[in-house]
Every structure is written in C-alpha cells, then in structure tokens.
Structure 1
Amino acid sequence: MGVDYYNILKVSKNATEEDVKKSYKRLAMKWHPDKNAVNTKEAEAKFKQISEAYDVLSDPQKRQIYDVYGEEGLKSGLYPPPSPKESYGGGGRGFKFSPRDAEDIFEEFFGGFDGGKGKSSGGGGGRVKKAAVMETKLPCSLEELYKGSRRKMKISRIVLDDSGKPITVEEVLAIHIKPGWKKGTKITFPEKGNHEAGSAPGDLIFVVDEKAHPIFRRDGNDLIITQKISLLDALTGKTLNITTLDGRDLSLTLSNIIKPGHEMVIENEGMPISKEPGKNGNLRIKFDVKFPSRLTADQKSDLRRVLSRRAN
C-alpha cells in the first residue's frame, strides 16, 4: 500500500491549493530538523515526508496521477499525464516523477533559518522567528547548590495541534542542578516554550535563585557564618562544632584571644567551584563577641586583678 500524502499533510482529498500551502507551512515549521535538536532523525524523516507530500499535492499533474494510481503509479513511470481527450491507462509515454529538494521547498516559503543549516534566501523571503522566551525562577537551597541535585519540574505551555489550534499541554522536565551553580545561572530547554502561529516554539529558561539559609550566607564561592561567643570564651578559648552543608561535623578549637570583628578562614570548606571540579571556596567565620551588660563590683575587681597581672 502506498503512502497517503493527504494524511501526511493533514488535509482532505478535496483540499484546495491554499489548504495545501497552509498545512505545509505549519507542519514544515514544526518538523524542520534545525528546530528539533533533541529528535533530529525523527524530525528529518517527517520533514522529508511533509515536503514530498506538498510537492505532489501542490502540482496539478502529479496530484491527478496520484489520485488515480497512488504513490506506486506516480513513481513507477508507467502512466502518462492525462490530456482533455484521453484517459489514464496505456503505458509507453511514461511520466517521470522527480521529487523536489525538501530544503528548496522550505526556502520558497521561509527563506531558510538565520544562522541555521537552511539555505539562504539571498535577501528574498522572510525568516522563521522563534516565539518569545519563557523565563521562570528556580529556587534552590544552599544544600542543593552545594551537593547538586536532580529536580523534576511540571510545566504548562501552549502548543499548536495538527489543525493549528493553540492548546495547553503539561509536561515534566528533569533538571540536573550541578554543585557550585550560582544565583542567576540559566538552564535552557530549547523549543520547550510557547508556540505561536507563524513562529517556531520559543525556549524555556529556568533561572537559579538562592533561598535564604538560617546559618550560612554565600559570597561568591565563599560561605560566611556569624558565630556568637561570650567575652569569656573569646578570652579563654572554646571548641566550636559546625555542621557543613553536606552534613559533616567540623570541630574548631579557638586557642587565641578573639577580638571583636575577628574573622577565621577555613580553606576549601566553602561552595564548590563549578568551573574547577574538586576545588571549593573558603568558609569564613565572623565572630560576634557578646559583652556582659553589667558587672558587679567584685567581678570588676577580679578582672582588674587578673588583667593587671597579665599585663605585667
């Protein structure tokens, strides 16, 4: 059984020349390989089928032979084109089927793609534009950006059905968040945005946004933590226990006197550096020394005695 060109082009057998053109324009734009980077092979096969169907149904001579003898008859070369005074049948004056190049047909309508693989229109015809980009924020915790994670996002977008009518569809996209990504990082899903008549589908872009963390604050590739300690601990020493974003326990001993505004730097304990695998920024601990609100006379006396002796 031969190919059903009418079904491929989504038109009826009574379709007018204008119907054939409209359907071709819509389907060719949908299935052009340059606009289907994910399933290029499937798109290329469909694009060629659509182009061949248009080539046959838009040509009165080819369409007449196809309507009577089907694809096999059209391509076999056994049937002559009809004339007003004769019917089909009888071989001998074979009709040679020569399919047109799919890109040539496409170029006649659209002039090729800007910067794509299509042929240039040489300044003639228009260009296939893309629908507007869809951007949406992707809130991420510092833990996700530290360790990396995989997320599934459910999206809704507008596409055109086979008749060209806009409909809303839902889809689940998998997003791989890489360790070290920063606020503002963009993850692009080509052609996953809205589809508008006369345009190729737009891109969908997720923009990374950082959620506030109760303990850590990010500064580039560094992590900052504010550690409150008493004046006594600042003067006499203390062991700090800090849980990292990936769940490890860091034990830090403070042996030197901690002055107000002092900052301790722990190398390689900050955020992963996405462009330098295996490297991290630093962990910066800023100390907030809490002074007592009041001292008794005896406490003041004891402090004078201790501090005076140390000064001497």
Structure 2
Amino acid sequence: MGVDYYNILKVSRNATMEDVKKSYKKLAMKWHPDKNAVDTKEAEAKFKQISEAYDVLSDPQKRQIYDLYGEEGLSSGLYPPPSSKDKDSGYGGERRGFKFSPRDAEDMFEEFFGGLDGGQGKRTGGGGRLKKAAVMEAKLPCSLEELYKGSRRKMKISRIVLDHSGKPITVQEVLAIHIKPGWKKGTKITFPEKGNHEPGAAPGDLIFVVDEKPHPTFKRDDNDLVINQKISLLDALTGKTVKITTLDERDLAVSVSDIVKPGHEIVIKNEGMPISKQPGKNGDLRIKFDVKFPSRLTAEQKSDLRRVLGRTTG
C-alpha cells in the first residue's frame, strides 16, 4: 500500500489546504526533536514523516499524483498529473513524470514557522491581522560543561491561557530544550505561541535566553577557553608537565619546556569551546601562567642562586 500521508498528518482525503497547514503546524511543534528530550530517535522519525506528508499534501501537483498512484507512483517518477499535456507540461512525455524527493524537514520547519504572516500574528476572519500577545522571556542558566558537551533540559513554565469561555487561567507545562554544543550567552530558543494569551490577541511566543554560569577553572573568551595556571619559580625556570582536566573530563598533559615569564601563555589548538555553526571545529585553549615567587630566601639560598644564575647573565 505504501505510506498513508493522510493518516500521518491526521487529516481526511478531502482536507483543504488550511486543514493540512493547521495539522502540520500542530504535529510539527509536538514532535520537533528539540522539544522531545526523552526519546529523540522516535521524535526525529515522526518529525520526518510529518514533514514528508506535508510536503506532498500541500503541493497540488504532488497530491494529485499521490491520490491517483500512491506513494510508490509518486516516488517512481513515471506518472505526470493527468491534467498535464505532453507538449507543455515540462514532463517530457507520457512515461516521464514528477519524481518526488522529500525536502529537508528542518528547512520546511524554519520556512513554515519563520514566515508565518511575517511574524506579526495570525490572520483574523475578516482578512486583517490579529496582534500577538507580548513575548515572554526567561533566562536559561547553563554551566560551561553543558555549553561544551550539549545537554537536554526540562523547564517547567507557568503561563496564562484562555479557557473555552475566554476567561484567563494559569496553567503549567514542561518544555524540553536541547542545548547544542557551542551555544553562547544570549542565544535565544523560541517556542512559538507558548507565551501568555490575551483577549483579542494571538498567543505570544516564549523565548529562553542562554545565560552562562561562572566556572571555577575556565573562563570563556568567544570560542576560546582561558585558564590561569600557577607555577613555582623553580618549575618556571627548569620546566614542568602541567595536567589540565577538560570540560569533558579528559586529562591533558601539557609540557612546559621554555622558561616561563610572568604573563607567559601557551595555546593548545582545538581544545576550546565547540563552534556551533562549524561542527567538528573548536576554539583554542589558552593557558596563562602566574609565576609564584618565594616569600623569603635564606642567605645560603641567595648565594647559591647568585652562583648558578650569575653564569647565565652577560
């Protein structure tokens, strides 16, 4: 039988375009992987199916072929829509038809939700625009470890909705957030229409804004990580191997062979924060050294130092 796109999208075979869009909007928001931290694989599979069904049923040509020949006929590329004519259809003859290739699910999602009425709100029945309620913003405090490795969080929110009679009531809901490696302070995660409702307005959006918690060891500088490493005067002069535990709990052994002066810095490439828009690439780890000088020296120690260090001057 092939794939039943109508069943996947939960609409009837005579559904209108508005029915198809409404159902896709509801199901895509429900099954988007970023909003399903518990079972990501199931969510990804359902999200892909929903997107493919919408791709077919929202396009009159694809839908016509699918209604006549099924999913197999659509993907075979053998059947043009019956209304097309060989000479002007662009299909190139009876045996060459429209071959269906599913679009990227995320691209469709961004196109659909990013372009809804220019972001200004829903259309009213009279053809005008219904203003959206005010945006709700909330901070999302994240540790440097979460921003390094990525994580999934569940956030409990309270918002105002209108009941069937139009009366405002407060409801609570748990939202799943997928924090991606490399996100920076100020990154915004938008949940369309998950904000407050207001009479005479479309539901507002809810936006979480990433905030970075201070870290006891590392400091972030854009995509780089900076660590201040104390070193004794003896080790600064004679060398040392420094052990640094990374944010994903690996141990780095850094050999210090050159003489370390106050303010000296060693750069370890690709050991900084992940770069979210360039998967597989990281910033650098910068180790800044703080040389610890002894608080006091005996006369004998001073004499020994003059004897040893005096030979290196000149």
Match of 2:289 in 1: 287
In the other structure, the counterpart of 1:216 is 218
Which amino acid in the other structure matches residue 254 of structure 1?
A: V
Q: Report if the CA contact (8 A) 2:122-2:202 is conserved.
A: no
**One-letter identity of the residue aligned with 1:184:** G
Aligned counterparts, 1:6-21, within 5 A: none
Distance verdict in 2 for CA 1:154–1:41, change over 3 Å: closer
Q: What amino acid sits opposite 1:224 in the alignment?
A: V
Describe the SS at the equivalent of 2:25. coil
- Structure 1 residues 35 and 220: CA distance shift in structure 2, 3 A: farther
Paired AA for residue 130 in structure 1: K
Distance in 2 (CA, whole Å) between partners of 1:119 and 1:172 is 28
Q: CA deviation at 1:294?
A: 1.6
* Cα distance between partner residues in 1 of 2:252 and 2:216: 18
Q: Give the C-alpha shift of residue 283 in structure 1.
A: 0.1
Q: Secondary structure at the match of 2:227?
A: strand
Looking at structure 2, the residues matched to 166 and 172 of structure 1 have their Cα atoms a distance apart, in angstroms, of 20
Summarize the alignment of residues 1-312 of structure 1 with structure 2, pairs less than 5 Å apart.
Answer: 37-39=25-27, 114-115=117-118, 126-311=128-313
**Distance (whole Å) between structure 2 residues aligned to residue 166 and residue 293 of structure 1:** 68
Deviations 1:202-249 (A, max 9, x none): 000000000000000000000000001111110011111110000100
Number of equivalenced pairs: 210
Q: Deviations over 1:238-284 (max 9, x none)?
A: 11111000010001111111011001000000000000000000000
Q: Please tell me the residue identity of whatever aligns with 1:176.
A: H
How far the C-alpha of 1:310 sits from its partner, in A, is 2.7
Counterpart Cα distance in 1 of 2:308 and 2:173: 71
Q: Is the 8 A contact 1:33 1:40 kept in 2?
A: no
Counterparts in 2 of 1:212 and 1:41: CA distance versus 1, 3 Å: closer
Tell me if structure 2 keeps the 8 A contact 1:35–1:191.
Answer: no
Instruction: Measure how far apart 1:127 and its partner are.
Output: 2.1
Q: Aligned partners of 1:39, 1:203: CA distance in 2, in Å?
A: 17
CA apart distance, 1:40: 7.5
Helix, strand or coil for the counterpart of 1:37? helix
8 Å CA contact retained: 1:227, 1:286: yes
| Residues 41/299 of structure 1: CA separation in 2 closer, same or farther (3 Å cut) | closer
Letter in 2 for 1:198: G
Alpha-carbon displacement from aligned partner over 1:81-109 (angstroms, at most 9, x marks no partner): xxxxxxxxxxxxxxxxxxxxxxxxxxxxx
Uncovered stretches (5+) of structure 1, i.e. residues with no partner = 1-30, 43-112
What is the CA distance between 1:126 and its match in structure 2?
4.4
* CA displacement at 1:39 relative to structure 2: 3.7
Which residue of structure 2 lines up, in the alignment, with residue 102 of structure 1? none
Alpha-carbon RMSD across the aligned residues, in angstroms, is 2.8
CA deviation after TM superposition for structure 1 residue 177, in Å = 0.2
SS, match of residue 289 in structure 1: strand
8 Å contact kept, 2:124–2:130: no
Query: What is the distance in 2 between the residues matched to 1:40 and 1:304?
Result: 76
Q: Name the amino acid aligned to 2:26.
A: V
Aligned-partner SS, 1:175: strand
Distance 1:225 1:119, change over 3 A: closer
TM-score by length of 2: 0.62
Structure 1 residues 41 and 150 mapped into 2: Cα distance closer, same or farther (>3 Å)?
closer
How many angstroms apart in 1 are the aligned matches of 2:137 and 2:146?
21
- CA distance in 2: counterparts of 1:296 and 1:32, whole angstroms: 86
Greater C-alpha Rg: 1
Q: Which letter does structure 2 place at the counterpart of 1:274? A: S
Deviation at 1:308, TM superposition (A): 1.2
Deviates more, 1:289-298 or 1:159-168: 289-298
Change in 2 beyond 3 A, CA 1:306/1:223: same
Q: Is the 8 A contact 1:273 1:281 kept in 2?
A: yes
Unpaired runs of 5+ residues, structure 2, are 1-18, 31-115
SS at 1:170 equivalent: strand
Taking a change above 3 Å as real, the CA distance of residues 191 and 119 of structure 1, as seen in their structure-2 partners, is closer
